[in-house]
Amino acid sequence: MKKFRGVFLKNDNEIALMREANHIVYLILQAMAAEIRPGTASMRFEEIAQDLCGKYKVRPSFQGYRGFPYALCCSINEEVVHGFPSAGRRLKEGDLVSLDMGVVLEGFHGDAARTFPVGEVSAAAARLLRFTAEALEDGTAAARPGNRLRDISAAVQKKAETHNFGLIRRFVGHGVGSKLHEKPEIPNFVSEATPDLPLLAGMVLAIEPMFSLGSGEVDILSDEWTAVTRDRSLAAHFEHSVAVTARGPLVLDC
């Protein structure tokens, strides 16, 4: 790896390894998605995460990270990120469930998240899912040499503001590689503090928009992890790990 202004640039072999790690994350998320239905306990997704990490011989990225107790972040409805899976909480028709998963393969991390509907959801919830996912695609499309980091941030912010969603500002995307969280931070909005960093081939970025139907402000629950919208409105979170290449952005978690 080389370094540019504190950001690690990965070589082709390292990106190939991260693609393998992220493909495993993709497979785990797909297995979880198949279990999403009313009545499923959210702990079922943790069981899948643990079982498949064993099957694929990878280590969960999140478990033990700063004391986080699970392999999976499972966030439901007003929970934005970092929710705990629970044996006592079962999905209900109309819920939104966000599954955020990471693994370590040969020293490199994969990291991705999706938010799914549970059965039939309201028109407002479906709209939230659609446009948060589109914001991820817009941000991903901006991750190419010749652009700057703030182009990713601006693309996500534009989608939120165009469609009048709450934009969660407390949490940001990040570089990813041999560490789960590397430089640079990638806000989902542009401000004077947004790094004015050119995008170079070899950067690998975890881009992760988070929108809500109401407030963009969050509270942290007593478990010291789960972040919820302050007004308890529905939230959605999508994340890709994206390699910046000479040919353009390469989504790794597929």
Task: Identify the pLDDT of residue 195.
Answer: 77
The pLDDT value recorded for residue 5 is 80
Block residue for tokens 């901006």: 142
Q: What is the distance between the alpha carbons of residues 173 and 156, in angstroms, rounded to a whole number?
A: 11
Per-residue model confidence (pLDDT) at position 193: 81
In this predicted structure, the answer to whether residue 1 has a pLDDT above a threshold of 80 is: no
- Tens of pLDDT along 137-167? 999 999 999 999 999 999 999 999 999 999 9
Residue 2: pLDDT band (50, 70, 90) is: confident
pLDDT tens digits for range 45-72: 999 999 999 999 999 999 999 999 999 9
Q: Domain map of the chain by residue range? A: 8-249
pTM over 0.85: yes
Q: What is the rounded CA–CA span in Å between residue 196 and residue 184?
A: 10
The confidence score (pLDDT) of residue 24 equals 98
DSSP helix/strand/coil, 179: coil
pLDDT tens for each residue of 80-98: 999 999 999 999 999 999 9
CA angle 232/48/128 to nearest 5° reads 30
Distance CA 89, CA 246 (A): 45
CATH dotted code for 8-249: 3.90.230.10
| Residues 62/72, Cβ–Cβ less than 8 Å | yes
- For all residues of the chain together, what is the average pLDDT? 97
Residue 218: CB atoms within 10 Å: 23
